[in-house]
Amino acid sequence: MKHLLALKDLSAEEIYAVLNLADQLKYELKHGIAHEKLKGKTLAMIFTKSSTRTRVSFETGMYQLGGQALFLSASDIQIGRGEPIRDTARVLSRYVDGIMIRTFKQSDVEELAEYGTIPVINGLTDYAHPCQVLADLMTVRERKGSLKNLKLCFVGDGNNMANSLIAGAVKVGMKITVCCPKGYEPDAALVGWGKESGLLEITEDVLAGAKDADVVYTDVWASMGQEGEAEKRRKAFAGYQVNAAVMAAAKPDAMVLHCLPAHRGEEITEEVLEAHAEDIFDEAENRLHAQKAVLVMTMGR
Ligand code: CP
Ligand code: NVA
């Protein structure tokens, strides 16, 4: 695996290889077995948006793998003053062994990969959040034993999470239904590709979409960068909440996932979130293990 820009670029075999290595690294960590597979290596982490999980899990992950991570807030490095991505890519390639970037435009992440000579990992863009979905798939597989033929229902905005969940689910053979209001559908190209597989369905009807789901997933109504639309979105998404009625439509043993941070009372009720806190915080933990696998598979070559 050269880079991780979007899950759609990976084969099913590569996704399973990440999940298997993630399981192994998690086991080793829990049993005190050292795995310094990136000894002496440095990861540069560029952030144009806020983060708790991504920053802390990547930084800790690099440390556990025997390397180090540099936190580079975009406002502190020259990117914030307009230095081109392509120059940043060429400079960082002379110093460090990999770059993780969280930013707005997917094309910036692609440009970084094109002009640099080192692996680039997408830590979230407006288009995709592949690291999150690898952790999500890992969590589902831990609970359910396998991924194939399960049904995941995503309720809410057709955003970066919906896009990456479509890509990840279709690749591993999981059914996915996205319940969203008109005008807030996921990326059109991904929807076309997903529908061709026969695994993706898009609906405005949340209860129909959640019927018999094994996994119910939601995310905020207004993503980072959309704060100005929050009020308008609150109205548009009023019927798109994961609550007791939605959970009653899903399978009795359905798990609930949320990439976090969560807005209780908006996309999910306090009651559902707390009833499924074990799923959701295992999911957050698995960011660490899944990303360590990605780091080893990209930077460990
Ligand atoms: N889920 C996620 O990416 O969290 P952060 O924004 O805290 O990194
Ligand atoms: N859709 C959210 C995900 C946060 C992890 C955002 O982009 O803000």
Distance from C-alpha of 202 to C-alpha of 64, rounded to nearest angstrom: 40
Residue among 224, 233, 240, 266 to mutate when testing ligand 2 (max atoms within 8 A of CB): 224
What percentage of the chain reaches a pLDDT higher than 70? 100
Q: Are residues 108 and 52 in the same domain?
A: yes
132 in active site: yes
Residue 206 lies in a domain: yes
Q: Are residues 33 and 167 in the same domain?
A: no
Residue 39 lies in a domain: yes
The number of the ligand nearest the C-alpha atom of 134 reads 1
Distance from C-alpha of 190 to C-alpha of 284, rounded to nearest angstrom: 25
Distance 33 CA to ligand 2 centre (A): 33
Residue 2 lies in a domain: no
User: Which atom of ligand 1 is the closest one to the Cα of 56?
Assistant: 8
Domain span at residue 96? 7-129+286-299
pLDDT tens digits along 73-86: 999 999 999 999 99
Q: Are residues 89 and 142 in the same domain?
A: no
pLDDT tens digits along 34-74: 999 999 999 999 999 999 999 999 999 999 999 999 999 99
Distance from C-alpha of 298 to C-alpha of 58, rounded to nearest angstrom: 14
Here the tokens at position 100 are: 């993780």
Q: pLDDT grade, residue 294 (50/70/90)?
A: very high
Residue 1 lies in a domain: no
Q: Give the side-chain half-sphere CA count within 13 A for 263.
A: 15
Closest residue by CA, ligand 2 atom 6 = 223
Q: Are residues 50 and 166 in the same domain?
A: no
Closest residue by CA, ligand 1 atom 1 = 259
Distance 28 CA to ligand 2 centre (A): 30
User: Which atom of ligand 1 is the closest one to the Cα of 54?
Assistant: 8
Query: Packing angle between helix 277-299 and helix 53-64, nearest 10 degrees?
Result: 50
Task: Identify the residue whose tokens are 């996309």.
Answer: 267
Q: Which residues pair with 280 in a beta bridge?
A: none
Q: Are residues 271 and 293 in the same domain?
A: no
Residue 74 lies in a domain: yes
Q: Are residues 155 and 97 in the same domain?
A: no
Q: Are residues 166 and 234 in the same domain?
A: yes
Here the tokens at position 152 are: 């995941």
Contact 261, 61 (CB under 8 A): no
Residue 144 is predicted with a pLDDT of 98
Number of domains, the chain: 2
Residue 91 is predicted with a pLDDT of 98
Q: Are residues 158 and 218 in the same domain?
A: yes
Residue 278 is predicted with a pLDDT of 98
The number of the ligand nearest the C-alpha atom of 57 reads 1
What is the CATH number for 32? Answer: 3.40.50.1370
Residue 147 lies in a domain: yes
Closest residue by CA, ligand 1 atom 6 = 51
Average pLDDT over residues 219-237: 98
Residue 218 lies in a domain: yes
219 in active site: yes
